[in-house]
Structure 1
Amino acid sequence: MLVHEAPLCADEGIEINLTSAADPPGHCIEASPLVPGDAFASVTLKPPTMAGKCDPVKDLAPPPLSGKFARACPWTDEYVTDFEGIACITPEDDGSCRLGFDMRFEFQEMIRDARTCTPCECGKPVGGSCMADVLLFSDASCSNMLASINEILAEEEICREAHEGSPLAGVRVVFAQDEPGTCSPTTDVSLVDGTIESGETRIFCCSSVELVEVIHANADN
């Protein structure tokens, strides 16, 4: 928006940036600089512009890890009541599993998940339309409205005369029509890059939950 000291937008004018008007739409924008009444004779409203690009989602998360996971916990009887898993012990000194615990599993400690997703890219927006209403106010809180300039289209520039002697201190921009264009992806998929850094291998010698219940019953006897 350009604010002119001369009638009919005859001078170069002072620019007031309305870029922040779209987020959120309709909020009060304090005019910077504030335009006193004796310097406010007319105003040029440039057409609203459509976004020149689409910003793809950047914070993509890699797919969740799948497979068998183990958690080693100290054994106490309280785990037996609603135990959902298999009972495991550490292997013998020679690495073998003792009788009754012959289900052998090897797990690697996960040090760090270093996977990332490759970025997505979009083409330029296609289509869309925009029409704005601009409300001018003599105060920075947008309470005392001077004028409402309606239905400003994306292809036109409008010049309006100002109220004589009134300053310009606040502006609201309301979108009467806001239909964003669409962008087609130029990269169809995001790929997972990087690896999972693993640490020491842990061995578990495991049995079934039925054996845990037998052990518990024998302990009670």
Structure 2
Amino acid sequence: MPSPEQPGVPPPGGFLTCIFHEGDVTCTEPYVDRHVFYGGVDDTRGCSECACGEPEGASCTIVASVYSDGACVEQVAPTVISSMAPFCGVTPPGVGLGSKSAEVVDVDPGACAPSGGEPTGELLPAVPSTFCCLA
């Protein structure tokens, strides 16, 4: 606006004579120098859900033992068994099975291929105000 102390005198350098409008409006003559400012944002940003594919490369190894007594003392046949190879074990002929034990000696949980976690949404300006100024 012109200075009220000096009607008809344009504002000093760096200032403009403008009309304020709420919203995003079109400026008309003679106030055609349009400036739009925003008082907020609409934030819809996020991420897609994360997921993991089927595990691959998992394995485990155990030592399985059989004993001829019931107290796991008189060992007959310790055997290393891996999930990576087929196995079929048999106790020696003529030996009765009294007890058995198994001890895990190695576990590899494998890995899965990750997916998801992609960015979604956007950040948009909101609550516009328009200043239409003299050119």
Higher relative contact order (Cα pairs below 8 Å, separated by 6+ residues): 2
Q: Which has the larger radius of gyration?
A: 2
More helix by share: 1
More strand by share: 2
Identify whether the pair has TM-score above 0.5, normalized to the shorter chain. no
Smaller-chain TM-score range? 0.3 to 0.5
